[in-house]
Structure 1
Amino acid sequence: MLAEITIKDFAIIDEVSLSFNDGLTVLTGETGAGKSIIIDAIQLLAGARASVEFVRHESEKANIEGIFFIDDADHDVYNVLNHFDLPYDDEGSIVLQRQITSKGKSICRVNGKLITLAILKEIGQTIIDIHSQHETQSLMQSDQHIELLDEFDQQALAEAKESYLHIYEDYLRLKRRFKDLSENEQEIAQRMDLLRFQYNELKEAQLQSNEDEQLEEERHQLSNFEKVYENLQTAYYSLYGEHKGLDFLSHAMTSLEQLEDVNDTYSQLSEQLKNHYYAIEEISFQLRNDLDELEFQPERLNEIEKRLHEINRLKRKYGKDVNDMLHLMASMEEELEQLENKDTHLQALENQIADVEKDVLMEAEQIHELRKQISEDLSHSIHEELKDLYLEKSKFNVAFKTLSGDIKYHNNHIALNKNGMDHIQFMISTNPGEPEKPLQKVASGGEISRIMLALKSIFSEHQHMTSVIFDEVDTGVSGRVAQAIAQKIHRISRHSQVLCITHLPQVAAIADHHLLIEKSQDDHQTKTFVRKLDQDESVIELSRMISGTEITETTKQHAEELIEQAKSVK
């Protein structure tokens, strides 16, 4: 959830810090008090484009900072953070920062690290969903509908989609290979000439596996011959010979042997010294053998230098090490064989593509049938939600179609993509006798509000949004519809934190938390303030919302009744 946001020098806000809780928080206040400005700030924190007009008059920059707590370790936001190698802690806190300067520059950070606006937007889309009367959200975008449908019953589709994607990736790989092999003769001839030249150059080098590492090690040894010889000799003669290390250790060992029968302590010390003596003696023998085997070979060093020079020349052209170049040779050999026998391989690829095409179509068809079943369940659920919002005459349907492509399917030619063969669009008719239209073409503001709430009631528990924000989505409704909208908004807050700007007392009454936005003016500036209302203060604010400026005992009683009614609904 969005735990806290600090806004400074933003529009008419001097500085304000807001703490939020789970559940439904409503923001109310007079028109022009700055309610939507707070939502604008949150939108910028989620990656919306900025304007210098957001910077407070006579200020150099506007600053917005928000901290989010993500309880779900599998939340999509972590996929985005990992993809861009961005930091986060184990406690699930994510700090987003946005700074807009008076010169139009925008600076974005996540957990203190600078990021681009595009990355901030990707992060914001996974945790914040803002809906207003004037903004098209994901629910209104037809290209998002297939993902929403699949989210509605992920479990039913999971295995089929995984199987399809596996075969679809094989299909794409084969198609790309066929295309590459079918290019014009001139390009293929040029490619073959290049491959033969490169392959022969590598082959003539007669590279051996790990040869470069072994040569580097041998060169290091030969280059340090004098240092190795002198230090081995010093170490050996320090240990072996009269009045040397082993000689003194031998005297000490003999002395301790005379005390073995005195007590166990001396016996143990004597045994330990013997073990150490023999171990050190073995080291001295090894030093002697190494000295005997040492031989300065300047000719060999020259050979190694020349060989490494040749290998490094090839590395600059073909790979970071010898093993890489050997693997490259193998792939070159395979590609040359395919190009030299192109027609045979093309025929084999055609046969493979035909076989895989049958399999991928079968998998896509299975997903299509599953989606048809899921769409019926979704339509039924949305109809029930629309009934609750007094749109019982509405008809909701999921329209399926295929896009034209080069794959023959029955009597048509279709295209496949990562989602299969389906292109999906949500359709709705809000009045009897009217044909169903795409969701985004619904005209009435009040109808859009209710349809959006119906859809969000269904999808909110599947979308895993940290915060859902409604900016005056209840405009144009009243009475029983207003009460129904209030209940739907509160229902969404069971799955996601909800922040809602509202002018409806029914929505404000059902809130778990109530913030009042106020502004003050003096001769020089206008400032916005926010304060959290207790229950008595909330009753006064609801009374104002019901009657306007004049608050009477009757309106206060009505406000109290709304709050009590809301408690019974919760």
Structure 2
Amino acid sequence: MLIHLHVKNLALIEEAEVDFGPGLNILTGETGAGKSILLGSMQLILGSKMSKEMIREKSSHALVELLFQIENPQVERKLAEMDISVEDGQVLLSRKIMEGRSVNKINGQTCTVSQMKEAAGLLLDIHGQHEHQSLLYPQRQLEILDAYGKEQIEPSKRKVQEAYQEYCHIRKELASMDMDESQRNRELSLLEFQLEEIEKAQLVPGEDEELEQRYRKMNNSRKIVEALQTVYLCTGYEETGCVGELLGKALQEISQVSSYDEELSQMEKSLLDIDGLLNDFNRELSSYLDSLVFEEEEFYQTEQRLDFINSLKAKYGKTLEKITSFEEEQRKKLEKLRKYQENIQELREKLEKSQNKLEKVSHDLSAIRKQYGQKLSEEIRNSLKDLNFLEVDFAIDFRRGKTYSANGFDEIEYEISTNPGEPRKPFGKVVSGGELSRIMLAIKTILADRDEIDTLIFDEIDTGISGRTAQKVSEKMAIIGRRHQVLCITHLPQIAAMADRHFEIRKLADQSETTTQIYALDKEASVRELARMLGGAQITGRVIENAREMKELARQQKNTRLK
């Protein structure tokens, strides 16, 4: 049950707080007072989007908080499955809206919009002004039936969805293999050519890197030889002024004096080490220079092999590993094509089995839907009689669609006759807007009872009705209020008179700003508000007495006939 609403900086609402109670909570007010804003604040908790223009002028954010008292063990269990703990029997949902983003919290813990929406969906259900129009669409009608019988329909639908996915996958695979003889021969020729080219290459892992290194060495060999010959001469012993010659002279000189001082002896040893290292370097350099001698033919072959491997990379993969993977994939494709007829036949058999399975589970789903369709039709008929459809005939027409879908093969349409002797017809051909809103009220009530949703919110459910019908709707709302908490925005005094708690939404304006406030009405204030709804601009004493009598009659009805 929704026990507290807090709204801040949302459109005309600067800040408003209201405590709701059990039973029928009625919200009334002049047109344009801000009733739709209040409802919109609750819809934000259900995940609806909001434009930045809805944030109150000169405010950085808007805030909506809903506090629920959880009294249903089933709801508490489902919340626990979502890792939402019920603290002292309560759950707080809040959404802070800023420009371009929002911060959502459940019991103070940050959550996503989808998590907020899922949790709120267990706690309240909102019927907007134009939602009843969706009843004209067969797809929405099917969704309602599936929601009504979800205990058995949902598991059956999952089986259909799995079977349909398998069926579509096989059919897609079969379609991808569908080709004529000439196309298949072209594909075979291409695959055979590609595989033969890769096989003849006899690629060796790491070969490309080794070839590139060798090619760079060969291609730059002249430059390398010239540079290294200069290095050899500079570090050798044969040329005047080279390092080796100078090092030899240095050794000769230091050896003549090293015996005089231990420190000089150590320096001589270091110089001998340097001379040894230089000798080693020269030998390695000489050996490397000898290895740079190669034949022109060897360079040509290396270049050709490298070009060939690079051409394979351009066609089949950027690395040798990718070329190998491509080869394996093409080999599998070739094997499939060579066994084309076998594979086609095998897939056709698999598709037939898959279709038979899909047919069976779709048939099972349809049978369950028809069972629940009869029950739902009976409940809707009974509920509509309570809403002043005196001679109503309602049924759900089932037809088999031309194709399968993830929903099975059922196509349904709600049909109704509101006059004796007239045949049932689809909603769009026979019902008015007011009748549609009453039908949706009946359906919402039935679904809420099955889903165990505690709080139902109706926004102007009275659209297009008046007189005796309005009275019947008010009685129905009072009956629903016995089993659920109901919040109802209305313009009809017949419905407002049935309120267990009555709230007025009022727009206040001065020279600087306009704000919307919500006020809880006591008995006398409720009578005055009813008088306003009855009398319009001029509220006379007689109108006041009429309102008081309407309120008293509603009280008597609730305590006797509607109890």
2:478/2:558 contact within 8 Å kept: no
Residue matched to 1:417: 405
Of residues 486, 492, 499 in structure 1, which corresponds to 2:474? 486
The TM-score, its normalising length taken from structure 2, stands at: 0.63
Relative distance call for 1:564 and 1:170 in structure 2 (3 A) is same
Residue matched to 2:344: 346
2:387/2:469 contact within 8 Å kept: yes
Relative distance call for 1:546 and 1:363 in structure 2 (3 A) is same
Relative distance call for 1:441 and 1:122 in structure 2 (3 A) is farther
SS in 1 for 2:408: coil
Task: Report the Cα distance in structure 2 between the residues aligned to 1:156 and 1:14, rounded to whole angstroms.
Answer: 47
Relative distance call for 1:193 and 1:364 in structure 2 (3 A) is farther
Task: Report the Cα distance in structure 1 between the residues aligned to 2:526 and 2:190, rounded to whole angstroms.
Answer: 79
Of residues 409, 423, 441 in structure 2, which corresponds to 1:453? 441
What amino acid is the match of 1:367?
Answer: L
Task: Report the Cα distance in structure 2 between the residues aligned to 1:448 and 1:402, rounded to whole angstroms.
Answer: 26
Q: CA deviation at 1:468?
A: 2.6
Q: Where do 1:90-489 residues align within 5 Å?
A: 91=87, 93=91, 95-101=93-99, 105-111=100-106, 113=110, 115=112, 128-136=124-132, 139-155=135-151, 157=153, 160-161=156-157, 163-182=159-178, 185=184, 338=336, 341-403=339-401, 414-431=402-419, 436-439=424-427, 444-463=432-451, 465=453, 467-489=455-477
| C-alpha distance after superposition, 1:14-63 (max 9, x if no partner) | 11122334433211233333222211222333333433442334444433
Q: CA deviation at 1:169?
A: 4.2
Relative distance call for 1:76 and 1:98 in structure 2 (3 A) is farther
Task: Report the Cα distance in structure 1 between the residues aligned to 2:474 and 2:192, rounded to whole angstroms.
Answer: 71
| C-alpha distance after superposition, 1:250-274 (max 9, x if no partner) | xxxxxxxxxxxxxxxxxxxxxxxxx
Q: CA deviation at 1:496?
A: 4.7
Task: Report the Cα distance in structure 1 between the residues aligned to 2:336 and 2:370, rounded to whole angstroms.
Answer: 44
SS in 2 for 1:33: coil
What amino acid is the match of 2:140?
Answer: Q
| C-alpha distance after superposition, 1:476-510 (max 9, x if no partner) | 43343223212322344456542101233332333
Residue matched to 1:559: 551
| C-alpha distance after superposition, 1:43-88 (max 9, x if no partner) | 3333334334423344444333334566566799869x97xxxx74
What amino acid is the match of 1:149?
Answer: L
Larger radius of gyration: 2
Task: Report the Cα distance in structure 2 between the residues aligned to 1:12 and 1:393, rounded to whole angstroms.
Answer: 45
Query: Structure 2: any 5+ residue segments left out of the alignment?
Result: 206-317
Q: Which shifted more, 168-177 or 9-18?
A: 168-177
Residue matched to 1:16: 16
Residue matched to 1:54: 54
Provide the identity percentage.
Answer: 34
Task: Report the Cα distance in structure 1 between the residues aligned to 2:523 and 2:358, rounded to whole angstroms.
Answer: 60
The TM-score, its normalising length taken from structure 1, stands at: 0.63
Task: Report the Cα distance in structure 1 between the residues aligned to 2:451 and 2:321, rounded to whole angstroms.
Answer: 49
What amino acid is the match of 2:557?
Answer: Q
Residue matched to 1:278: none
Say how many residue pairs are matched.
Answer: 436
What amino acid is the match of 2:104?
Answer: R
Relative distance call for 1:30 and 1:437 in structure 2 (3 A) is same
Q: CA deviation at 1:465?
A: 4.5
Task: Report the Cα distance in structure 1 between the residues aligned to 2:61 and 2:140, rounded to whole angstroms.
Answer: 36
Q: CA deviation at 1:423?
A: 1.6
Relative distance call for 1:154 and 1:119 in structure 2 (3 A) is closer
Q: Which shifted more, 358-367 or 6-15?
A: 358-367
Q: CA deviation at 1:562?
A: 1.8
Relative distance call for 1:173 and 1:69 in structure 2 (3 A) is farther
Relative distance call for 1:543 and 1:396 in structure 2 (3 A) is same
| C-alpha distance after superposition, 1:305-354 (max 9, x if no partner) | xxxxxxxxx9x989xxxxxxx9xx99999887656533312211211221
What amino acid is the match of 1:528?
Answer: T
Query: Structure 1: any 5+ residue segments left out of the alignment?
Result: 206-313, 319-325, 404-413
SS in 1 for 2:465: coil
1:96/1:110 contact within 8 Å kept: yes
SS in 2 for 1:520: strand
Aligned-pair Cα RMSD in Å: 4.6
SS in 1 for 2:458: strand
Task: Report the Cα distance in structure 2 between the residues aligned to 1:21 and 1:515, rounded to whole angstroms.
Answer: 11
